[in-house]
Amino acid sequence: MSNSIHSDVQKTVRVSSRRFELSPFHDCWANEHTVMGVYAGRYYSVFNGEDVTETYWALRRKAVMYDVPERPVEISGPDAVAFLERVFARRVSDLKQGRGRYAIACTPKGGVFMDGILFKLAADRFWYVQPDGALETWLHAHSERFDVTISDPRSRVLQIQGPTSLDIMHAASGGAIGEAMGYFHSGFFEIGGQEVYVSRTGWTGELGYEIYTQAEATNCPDLWQHLLKAGEPHGMMVGSISSMEIRRLEAGILDNGTDFDMSMTPFEAGLGAFVDIDKEDFIGRAALLGGKPGTRIYGVKCAEATPVYHGEILNGEDDVARITAGAWSPYLEAGIGYARFHSAGNWAGKTLTMRTAQGEVVACEIVELPFYDREKRIPRGLDKTIP
C-alpha cells in the first residue's frame, strides 16, 4: 500500500526560494529525488527518494534524523511570564527552567490559534516552538501593556528519533546527555564542540530528542556530520517527513492548520486536557467557559485502503466527516488517518465507510486517538518492546 502523503509528490511546481528560508542543512541531504514543501516559511523535505517503509522501521527499531521546519520564537523580558499567561491557555508560572510544556493559544472566541512547545531557558527568557502560522504577529498584537521583547532566534531544528536516540545523543554529547534527562527536559549542551539547545521531545511518539541551533554561531554542516558519525554505530538513517508522518498519525499527534484550525475549540480537537480553565484572564477563556463540546477528531482505520486527504466519511448516505491526514501503517498493517467530524458525537467504535482515492466506498473503523500507547510509555522510555 502507498502512503497518501506521496499522492501529490508528482504534482509539483517550480517556486522561487526568495520568500522562503532554505535550511542550512539542505546540502547535507538534498538530492535529485527531493521534493520540497513549505512550512512556517521554511522549506523542508516531503520526500527524499528513500524507501519510506524501510525508514519507518528504522524509526521504530533504531533511529532517524530529520531536518524539520518548526520555528522557535523567543519571548523575553521582565513581563515574560505574565505575558505568556495571558497568551496561552496552559499555566506558565510553574514551568521550571530547563523544562518544556505543550501549550495552546486560543482566539477570543475560543478557537485554537496555535499549538506548540514552550521552553523556559531562563527566568525571563522563553522559546515557543511553533508550527505553521503567524505567531510573531499575534504575539506583537497582544504585547502592548507588557514589557517583553519578541524576537526570532534564527534557530533551526533537527530531530533524532527512535529507540537508539539516547545512545546517539550520549555519544554525540560526550556523555553529557543520558538517562537523567527526562521527557520534556531541556538545556544547553556542547555537541561536537558547539553549544546547542537540546530537548527530549519530538513529533513521532518515539523516544527522541530535538536539537536547536544558535543562529550564525552554529556551523550546521559540521554539526550534521558529527551527529551522523555518532549515529552510525546505532543504525541511524536520515529521513524526510514521509516516515515521520506515519508515526505521528499512529501516535495521535495533531498538526495545526491540517487537522484542526481556529474554527475548533481545544475540546473539539481533543486537546481539552491542555486548557487550565481555572487560570484567570487568558485569551479565549470567557468563550471556553460557555461549555465543553464533544470531540470532533477521531482516528480512522481501514484494512482495505489508505485514507486520502479530504476523503469523505459516510454514515449510510450521509457525509459526516472528512479525512485530514492518512497513511499506510506498516505496524498496524492498515490504512490509518484522522477523521474530522462535522459535529461532535460518540463516534468511537462505530463502523462507517470512507471513499477511496479511486472513488470506491469501503468499510472503516472509527477509533479513539492515539491508535496505541495511550500513556506515552514509548517516548517516556518506559516501554522498550520494539515491534
Average pLDDT over residues 270-279: 94
In the predicted model, what is the mean pLDDT of residues 366-380? 96
What's the pLDDT score for residue 280?
A: 86
- Mean pLDDT over 358-372 rounds to 95
Return the exposure string of 200-213: e unless at least 16 CB atoms fall within 10 Å of the residue's CB, then b. bbbbbbbbbbbbbb
How far is the CA of 359 from the CAs of 1, 274, 332, 356, 362, in angstroms? Answer: 16, 38, 24, 5, 10
Cα–Cα distance, 282 to 113 (Å, whole number): 13
pLDDT for position 8? 56
Indicate the burial class of 354 (C-beta count within 10 angstroms; 0-12, 13-18, 19 or more): buried
Confidence of residue 357 (pLDDT cuts 50, 70, 90): confident
Share of the chain above pLDDT 90, in %: 84
Give which of 268, 256, 236 is closest to 340, Cα–Cα: 268
> Cell numbers 500500500 correspond to what residue?
1
DSSP state of 307: -
Q: How far is CA 31 from CA 36, 49, 53, 159, 219, in A?
A: 11, 8, 19, 20, 21
Domains with residue ranges and CATH for the chain: 1-293 (3.30.1360.120), 294-371 (2.40.30.110)
Cα separation of 149 and 135, whole Å?
A: 14
Residue 115 pairs in a beta bridge with: 104
- In the predicted model, is pLDDT for residue 120 greater than 50? yes
Residue 105 has pLDDT above 70, yes or no: yes
**Global pTM?**
0.94
Sort 280 into a burial class: Cβ within 10 Å, 0-12 / 13-18 / 19+.
Answer: exposed
